[in-house]
Amino acid sequence: MDREELIVSNLDWWNERAPLHVASAFYHVDDLINGASALDEFEERELVSHGGESLLHLQCHIGTDTISWARRGFDVTGLDFSEVAIREAAQLGSQCGVTVKWITSDLYQAPQTLGRTFDVVYTGKGALVWLDDIKLWADVVNQLLKPGGRLYLVEFHPVSEVLGEKGWSIEYDYFSDGEAIIEDQTMGSYADRDVTTRANRTATWQHTLGDIISALTGAGLSIKWLHEYPHTHFERTDALFFDPERRTYQVPPGTPRLPLLFS
Ligand SMILES: C[S@@+](CC[C@H](N)C(=O)[O-])C[C@H]1O[C@@H](n2cnc3c(N)ncnc32)[C@H](O)[C@@H]1O
């Protein structure tokens, strides 16, 4: 399959999942409507609004994080290539009484589509694996930032991709040859494993932490800090236990830890 066909498969996959995700328990949409934040506690600590700064959320999905940033004082634009996700996000935004500009666009076309720059570019958990060209992504981010602007990137740690689904074992390669990982049976999703779906082919790409950091510095950004966290937001492996209070998955006490998120 060529790249365009893979991207169309991914778009079909996301278009079908967006309404399912709004309805899923995973996204806690009712809590969001009632004023709760969808962001991790460390995100709210690490990215502070200086009041009215413009923030672009790339790959914003159904807008839960996007809406949460708007509530924290940013002037927010959410962008995603799934028109269904953007429609759901816009509806959720109005249910939350929050003003966000919602834009449907492929990420690589974002500078042309938007025709403007931002104080902050944010990208959240589960975004980068859907992109085949991490250097082009970094270049896009650089084009979208005002001079002196900030990228705030939060992602599942690439090291966690080596873990198998069962137990605490290394089953997948950390390094990548750049080829797409194509899965034809990705029924349901991380938000609802049991739901029946029609579009089940995904193409993802593994980017190491070195690939991501080097792409950013190569595009002209400088890195101020890098934080790593031992918790995550979905059941990456059944060895993790769920902490209902923090709504995160953690390594069981006594098990040697790996980084599961980074920012
Ligand atoms: C896992 S979601 C991001 C999740 C977000 N952090 C959240 O939990 O709501 C990944 C998003 O990337 C979007 N996406 C994938 N490929 C894209 C592309 N080439 N351009 C723009 N958006 C893309 C999908 O439509 C999906 O909404």
Span from the CA of 204 to the centroid of ligand 1 (angstroms): 12
Could you tell me if the CB of 122 is within 6 A of ligand 1? no
- What residue segments make up the domains of the chain, in order of their start? 3-262
Phi then psi for residue 56, to 5 deg, are -105, 120
Provide the residue type at 214 as one letter: S
112 Cβ neighbours under 8 A, 6+ residues apart: none
Span from the CA of 253 to the centroid of ligand 1 (angstroms): 33
Could you tell me if the CB of 65 is within 6 A of ligand 1? yes
Tens place of pLDDT per residue across the chain (263 aa): 899 999 999 999 999 999 999 999 889 999 999 999 999 999 999 999 988 899 999 999 999 999 999 999 999 999 999 999 999 999 999 999 999 999 999 999 999 999 999 999 999 999 999 999 999 999 999 999 999 999 999 999 999 999 999 988 999 999 999 999 999 877 788 888 888 899 999 999 999 999 999 999 999 999 999 999 999 998 889 999 998 888 899 988 888 999 999 99
Provide the residue type at 195 as one letter: V
User: What CATH code is assigned to 3-262?
Assistant: 3.40.50.150
**Ligand 1 pocket: which of 5, 14, 37, 134 to mutate (most atoms <8 Å of CB)?**
14
